[in-house]
Copies of this chain bind each other. A is one copy, B any other.
Amino acid sequence: MSKLVYSFDEGKTQSKEILGGKGYNLAEMKSLGLPVPDGFTITTTACMNYLNEGEVVTPSLKEEIENAVKDFEERAKKAFNSEDSLLLVSVRSGAKFSMPGMMDTILNLGLNDKNVETLAEKTGDRRFAYDCYRRLLQMFGEVVYKIPMVAFNSYFDRYKEKHNYELDTDIPAEGLEHIVNYFKELYLSEAGKPFPQEPEVQLIESVEAVFKSWNNDRARVYRELNDIPHDIGTGVTVQEMVFGNSGEHSGTGVAFTRNPATGENKLYGEYLINAQGEDVVAGIRTPKEISTLKEKAKDLYDEFVDITKKLEAHYKDMQDIEFTIEDGKLFILQTRNGKRTAKAAVEIATDLVEEGLIKKEEAIMMIEPKSLDQLLHPSFNEKSLESAELITKAGLPASPGAASGKIVFSAEEAKHSAENGEKVILVRPETSPEDIEGMIAAEAIVTTHGGMTSHAAVVARGMGKCCVTGASDLKIDGETRTVTYPGGEIKEGQVISVDGATGKLYLGEVETTANEQSEAFTRLMNWAEEISDMAVRMNAETNDEITAGFDFGAVGIGLVRTEHMFFGEERLVQMRKFIIAETKEERVEALNKILAYQKEDFEKIFRQADDRPVIVRLLDPPLHEFLPQTEKETKEVAETLDITPEFLNRRIRELSEVNPMLGHRGCRLSITYPELTTMQTEAMIEALIKVKDDGIESNLEIMVPLISTFEEFKTLKDVIETRAKELIEASGQTVNYSIGTMIEIPRACFIADKIAKECDFFSFGTNDLTQLTFGFSRDDVGKFIGEYEEKGILENDPFQTIDEAVGELVKMTVEKARSVDPDYKLGVCGELGGDPRSIEFFNEIGMSYVSCSPFRVPGAILASAQSKVKQDV
């Protein structure tokens, strides 16, 4: 018959299957020579035997456990019920897979009416001893005898209330004694039997309770949901309790092997003498700096430092270590990879490489790509935040950063105030392309509607500008120019602070801390670029954005949205003339006036990009976005255009759509008005020729949006090629450009092979593709998507992380395109191009590149490198 109980020392020969995760880890620490509190593990086999054979502890198992306890007592030089050295233990479950829903822990097992006094004497803390006993009674009662926890808690709370004790720790020893007596009565009334006084009985009954908990409802449901087999059972770990409050030669503390805030390679932590963990948490006593332990107990300190080094070397990462000293003996209770700030993460990872502890590939894997964004933006000073008055936390952290300024309610005001040198926060129900200049002028943008992928969010991220969206408990009153929020009211011109990393808003100005790219950051990014085999481009239009994106390592521009090239005072007037025109001639005349501006825009972009590729998307939004929204504006615009407001209103009505997302936009507009595409082609090709004259070999990729049929693409390709050919021939220059399309409509995915034959490249527009695959409007989904995530109907927001079905569509498209040409150029320029989990998927299916807003480029490069490392494993 096989062995069913292993001491921690013996455990290193056994697998996680046999010992369970907890037992296995303790055996591992032991094998490293660490002074962990001793104990033993009962195997998962013992558990399954018990469950399969009538739930009886066989005499042989009982004997093995008793022997294990005996050996253990000898090693620990402690014993159950000993008056000199009282042995108390914890009992914990631990299956191969971590499983919430199963019984977790019973502490202080071994205490009884008699030896609780021994403990009190030994620790000199009667209150502590009775508190330990009180907890044992509660845990054992609930877990083993199924007495409802509420029965214990309600009495405990009533007792506090009656005696007017605020904190648990305010209850004196006598009070706890009283409570212990009541709890023992509860055993009789609720379970019909007394609390067992013999530690051996407590232990066996606890082990049985852990075994049984394997089959409780919550555990079964959890296993079903997570595809964990029902027949692998759980291990039971029995471990010695140690007490840091056993006198002046005892203590407890926590330490990080490096500084978790800065990453500095120096032991960082604190401890308390004659105390236990709880005391640190309660904050009643002030702990001491870890280095001062050296003076108190040099040997112990040296031993601890040795151990921290050993642990770092073993786990190859900064460790967060809990320790206790009992009577001058050091115990390591727990070690784990320590949490750290983004800055520290970068420093630690690069240092570990320098120190030869890890390889570059491993360093790459240690950084959360999303955290890099945080590194590149200013943030609020933690201290200042504590005293700041919160306006709301209902907003979404749409674009990171931190900024303060006076609130304004329109783009014009924002522009105007900024020109006067004032810092402003633009607060709007939502934003539209017309607000661009105001958004550029503002320090931060706040909207009361819209989600993480609303216009405001996408544009702000592009600009690297702080933005909070969907702050739904703010009400903007445009007439009185005030914002009301649950706790009060803010008037125009009042200063607020916006935290784009958390979505919170504060009253008044809050101090910020600038974040700069460290040397370690640069080193890390260089490694990531080396390792990654999928390119990262940026979605960018303005010259500042483009500069930032190239600085951050983008290898090209994956998306220039040309919408903004139709805004700006004179252009907008002409665009509106185009829209109200009745003949093609009038339309062309208006467009020709826009042409000169756009040619200049493109020239600047091409000069910045040099020979790096630039994808320019043709005009995408519906025409009504260029028309005025309010009656007042309509009147003004009509005056400018020299038409009646009635005529303009009619045109606005004609262009209004029930579902604009599914309406007359994208390539559909250009099919109706090919002159639009002709003009944009002229602007691009003429700019191309101009910069070529200066020796710049541009790499222009023209992109047609919203294709759903092959014929749409072919029609517009012909329009582009015809005009481009004329201009190039006339110039005598040789310039290069290619023509591709956006894949953002499900139908295009199905005919991708046909399109690919005529088309130079595809770029996936994952926003629209997700909208259409789900039938979710990004603008409206805010009403229920939160609820969907809460209720588990959606695991993730599919606009943030690629959905499985959208992924299938993308994969199918990739396969169809590559069936036409194995090297077909495929990229992603939708929002998901900046999401690490999505990037991993895109890399796996062989995407040529992803493209995202400039500030997300470093994270994307890192995610791409990580996905390569994973593939290579």
Bound Cα distance A538, B751 (Å): 33
| A772-B775, A774-B747, A793-B671 known; A780-B663 Cβ under 8 A | yes
Contact at A784–B750, with CB atoms within 8 Å? no
Contact at A787–B671, with CB atoms within 8 Å? yes
Q: Which residue of B664, B709, B781 contacts A780 across the interface (Cβ within 8 Å)?
A: B664
| A745-B775, A792-B711 known; A662-B768 Cβ under 8 A | no
Taking CB as reference atom, which chain B residue is nearest A751? Answer: B805
Q: Which residue of B709, B768, B781 contacts A793 across the interface (Cβ within 8 Å)?
A: B709
Among A629-686, those with CB < 8 Å from B are 657-664, 668, 671-672
Contact at A747–B793, with CB atoms within 8 Å? no
Q: Which residue of B662, B771, B794, B808 contacts A776 across the interface (Cβ within 8 Å)?
A: B662
Bound Cα distance A791, B746 (Å): 22
Contact with B along A503-527 (1 / 0, CB 8 A): 0000000000000000000000000
Q: Which residue of B660, B668, B715, B808 contacts A750 across the interface (Cβ within 8 Å)?
A: B808
| A659-B661, A780-B662 known; A772-B746 Cβ under 8 A | yes
Taking CB as reference atom, which chain B residue is nearest A662? Answer: B777
In the complex, A788 has a CB within 8 A of chain B? yes
Bound Cα distance A23, B548 (Å): 74
Contact at B715–A791, with CB atoms within 8 Å? yes
In the complex, A763 has a CB within 8 A of chain B? no
Q: How far is the CB of A138 from chain B (nearest CB, A)?
A: 35
Task: Pick the most buried of A709, A747, A809: most chain B CB atoms within 10 A of its CB.
Answer: A747
Taking CB as reference atom, which chain B residue is nearest A768? Answer: B775
Among A763-813, those with CB < 8 Å from B are 768, 771-777, 779-781, 783-784, 787-788, 791-794, 803-806, 808-809
Contacts of A784 in B (CB 8 A): 664, 668, 671-672
In the complex, A706 has a CB within 8 A of chain B? yes
Bound Cα distance A750, B746 (Å): 12
Taking CB as reference atom, which chain B residue is nearest A664? Answer: B783
Among A1-22, those with CB < 8 Å from B are none
Bound Cα distance A394, B503 (Å): 52
Contacts of A657 in B (CB 8 A): 777, 779-780, 783
Q: Which residue of B659, B794, B805 contacts A659 across the interface (Cβ within 8 Å)?
A: B659
Among A201-227, those with CB < 8 Å from B are none
Contacts of A715 in B (CB 8 A): 791, 793
Q: Which residue of B660, B711, B803 contacts A747 across the interface (Cβ within 8 Å)?
A: B803
Among A701-721, those with CB < 8 Å from B are 706, 708-709, 711-712, 715
Contacts of A787 in B (CB 8 A): 671-672
Contact at A771–B805, with CB atoms within 8 Å? no
Among A87-130, those with CB < 8 Å from B are none
Q: How far is the CB of A431 from chain B (nearest CB, A)?
A: 13
Bound Cα distance A668, B787 (Å): 10
Q: How far is the CB of A728 from chain B (nearest CB, A)?
A: 26
Contact at A773–B792, with CB atoms within 8 Å? no
Taking CB as reference atom, which chain B residue is nearest A775? Answer: B745
For chain A, what secondary structure do more than half of its interface residues adopt (helix, strand, loop), or is it mixed?
Answer: helix
Contacts of A664 in B (CB 8 A): 780, 783-784
Contact at A746–B780, with CB atoms within 8 Å? no
Contacts of A793 in B (CB 8 A): 671, 709, 711-712, 715
Taking CB as reference atom, which chain B residue is nearest A450? Answer: B658
Bound Cα distance A592, B58 (Å): 59
Bound Cα distance A645, B100 (Å): 50
Contacts of A663 in B (CB 8 A): 777, 780-781, 783
Contact at A805–B747, with CB atoms within 8 Å? yes
Contacts of A671 in B (CB 8 A): 784, 787-788, 791, 793
Bound Cα distance A744, B659 (Å): 17
Bound Cα distance A768, B746 (Å): 13
Taking CB as reference atom, which chain B residue is nearest A709? Answer: B793
Contact at A709–B747, with CB atoms within 8 Å? no
| A668-B784, A711-B793, A805-B746 known; A658-B658 Cβ under 8 A | no
Bound Cα distance A485, B226 (Å): 66
Q: How far is the CB of A57 from chain B (nearest CB, A)?
A: 40
| A661-B658, A772-B775 known; A794-B672 Cβ under 8 A | no
Bound Cα distance A773, B672 (Å): 21
Contacts of A660 in B (CB 8 A): 658-659, 780
Bound Cα distance A803, B711 (Å): 14
Contacts of A791 in B (CB 8 A): 671, 711, 715
Q: How far is the CB of A831 from chain B (nearest CB, A)?
A: 17
Contacts of A803 in B (CB 8 A): 747
Contact at B775–A708, with CB atoms within 8 Å? yes
Bound Cα distance A277, B602 (Å): 66
Taking CB as reference atom, which chain B residue is nearest A708? Answer: B774
Contacts of A805 in B (CB 8 A): 746-747, 750-751
Contact with B along A738-756 (1 / 0, CB 8 A): 0000001111001100000
Contacts of A777 in B (CB 8 A): 657-659, 661-663
Taking CB as reference atom, which chain B residue is nearest A654? Answer: B783
Among A158-199, those with CB < 8 Å from B are none
| A715-B791, A787-B672 known; A775-B709 Cβ under 8 A | no
Contacts of A804 in B (CB 8 A): 750-751
| A-B contacts besides A657-B779, A711-B792, A746-B809, 7 pairs, CB < 8 Å | A658-B779, A659-B660, A662-B662, A662-B776, A662-B780, A746-B773, A747-B803
Q: What are 6 contact pairs spanning A and B, CB under 8 A?
A: A657-B780, A662-B780, A746-B773, A747-B774, A747-B775, A747-B806
Closest 3 pairs (CB-CB, A-B): A662-B777, A659-B777, A750-B805
